[in-house]
Each structure stands twice: as C-alpha cells, then as structure tokens.
C-alpha cells in the first residue's frame, strides 16, 4: 500500500510542475507580447530617429552683441561665426556653428557680449550629406546607423526625400518628430522630420 501512495504523490508533483510551467508561459505571452510586432517596430523606428539625429546634430551658439562699447570675443565657440546684423538699437547677433562655411569676425570689434544661448540642432547640410549617402551606398549607411538588415527605412524633411521602393505586400510605419534645422544663412526653423520603416 505504501507503494501506491508514493506513485500518487509523484503524479501530483508532475501536474503541479506542468501547471507552473504553463502559467509562466501564459504570463510571458500576456505581458511581453512577442506576437505584437508594433512594439518591435516602434523600437526600431525610435532607434532610427536616434541614430539619424546623432549623425546630423551639431552645436549652435547664438550671442547677443551690443555694438555700443565693450569688447567682443570671437572665441565664444570654436565653431565658425556668422554675423547677423539687426537694426535694433545697436544690437546684433553672432551665430556660431559648423554649418557656416567661413569665419566672419568683421562685425566683431570693440563690442560687448550679451546673452549666450547654446543648443543642439539639426544641420541642413548634414541632411543633404545623409541623403547622398542614402542613394550612393545604402547598405553602408544602414550599417553606420546600426539599423537591422532585414528592415528598410526612409526619411523626409522639407524637400529632402530619402525613400526606396516599398514592396506592395509590406506596410509602412511612419512617425513625425519636430526638430530645429539650421541653414547655412543662419536661419533656424522648426521642421517635421518623417521617419519611415517597412
């Protein structure tokens, strides 16, 4: 008789182990949702955005300068300077960024510095360089951006389009993010950059 009880208890242990295993698998399916590709696609899209922004973002410094005395220091930043004349009571702006092709310190003599604003912005020239890389060597660009090989991407912003042919059987996931874009003439404009994956 003792032998029969031992056999029953071993069956109970197997049943409890099986129930715990099935519960664990159900827990994973409910909370992690590996069957939903939206979560994966969303993270790939955000990874694309972060990689592209890292590639095209530059430093930008804007300095308010008072032309009525003091001393101007063109070395506020190591970036090239662009002087923008403003006609407001003797004040003008000195803009510093690698977006500007040459150093212009002609308007920066015997002036007093005012408010200094530093920020990271998207370079318009870098967007054009990215577009050139997109069309000339797409695979190397994907590798440089750490983008998955089995997913394709496209980017559109203000007349700059980077897009490949999308197969008919695939759907495109896209999102738009606002960014400040700096142009070589000193204009800083808010633009929507559209990132697409398929």
Residue 113 CA to residue 138 CA, distance in Å, equals: 45
Q: Which residue has the higher pLDDT, 2 or 184?
A: 184
pLDDT greater than 70 at residue 71: no
Write the pLDDT tens digit of every residue in 37-66: 555 788 899 999 999 999 999 999 988 877
Write the pLDDT tens digit of every residue in 79-90: 777 777 665 677
Among 84, 71, 77, 81, which residue's Cα sits nearest to residue 104?
81
Write the pLDDT tens digit of every residue in 2-29: 555 566 667 888 899 999 999 999 888 8
Residue 166 CA to residue 153 CA, distance in Å, equals: 9
Whole-prediction pTM: 0.72
Residue 105 CA to residue 176 CA, distance in Å, equals: 38
């Amino acid at each position: 008789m003792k032998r029969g009880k031992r056999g029953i208890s071993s069956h109970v242990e197997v049943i409890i182990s099986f129930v715990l295993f099935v519960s664990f698998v159900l827990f994973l399916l409910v909370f992690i949702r590996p069957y939903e590709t939206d979560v994966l696609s969303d993270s790939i899209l955000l990874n694309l955005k972060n990689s592209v922004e890292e590639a095209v973002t530059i430093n930008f410094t804007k300095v308010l300068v008072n032309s009525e005395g003091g001393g101007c220091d063109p070395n506020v930043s190591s970036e090239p300077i662009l002087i923008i004349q403003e006609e407001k009571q003797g004040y003008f702006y000195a803009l510093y960024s690698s977006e500007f092709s040459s150093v212009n310190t002609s308007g920066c003599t015997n002036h007093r510095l005012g408010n200094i604003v530093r920020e990271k912005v998207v370079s318009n020239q870098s967007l054009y360089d990215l577009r050139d890389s997109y069309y000339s060597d797409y695979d190397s660009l994907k590798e440089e951006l750490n983008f998955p090989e089995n997913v394709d991407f496209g980017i559109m912003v203000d007349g700059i389009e980077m897009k490949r042919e999308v197969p008919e059987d695939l759907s495109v996931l896209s999102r738009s993010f606002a960014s400040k874009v700096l142009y070589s003439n000193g204009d800083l404009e808010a633009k929507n950059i559209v990132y697409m994956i398929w």
